[in-house]
Amino acid sequence: MKTKVLQLWHECYLFPDSITNIDDFLKWVNVQEEQFVPLKSLRRFADDESGNQCAFPYFIEDFVREEYLNFARVEKIAEIEVIILPREEYDKRIKLAFEEKCVNCINYSKDKKDCTLSPYRGYLSPDGNCFDYEENVEE
């Protein structure tokens, strides 16, 4: 699902409950009495040993983790749109994108055992965009 989030540095965070935009968030954070504010971070990597990751602007619901941020030290903040999917939906879409896009890439190996999704998860997004794609032009 497409959703607006906060971007601080190069990390993305969900708005706290009942806050839906950056203006309301800034009002909320300015009245907090505590120095550290809890926010839910959208992680690009799983917290387990699976090696699972996701490609921006996509995130996986399971990769959300609560962190405490010191807003006295925040220099830059923005509101951006990202897409958050359940892990099963993300995996289904990335598998389809892999089967359609990767076969035409010079980084693709015809030996299927070398072409699992794991090495490509940080590059290939579920919509088929790939940060490592180079078209394979046969001469």
Q: Is residue 16 part of a domain?
A: yes
Phi then psi dihedrals of residue 112, to 5 deg: -55, -30
Q: Is residue 129 part of a domain?
A: no
Tens-of-pLDDT digits for all 139 residues of the chain?
899 999 998 899 999 999 999 999 999 998 988 889 999 999 888 766 666 788 889 999 988 999 999 988 888 999 999 999 998 999 899 889 888 888 788 877 655 545 567 667 778 889 988 888 888 777 5
SS (H, E, C) 83-123: EEECHHHHHHHHHHHHHHHHHHECCCCCCHHHCCCHHHCCC
Range of the domain at 34: 2-85
Q: Is residue 79 part of a domain?
A: yes
Q: Is residue 12 part of a domain?
A: yes
Question: Given this model, what pLDDT does residue 48 score?
Answer: 64
Domain count, the chain: 1
Q: Is residue 124 part of a domain?
A: no
Q: Is residue 36 part of a domain?
A: yes
Q: Is residue 105 part of a domain?
A: no
Q: Is residue 137 part of a domain?
A: no
Any idea how long the chain is?
139
Cis status, amide bond into 16, omega within 30 of 0: no
Q: Quote the distance between the C-alpha of residue 134 and its chain's center.
A: 22
Q: Would you say 87 and 93 are in contact if contact means Cβ atoms under 8 Å apart?
A: no
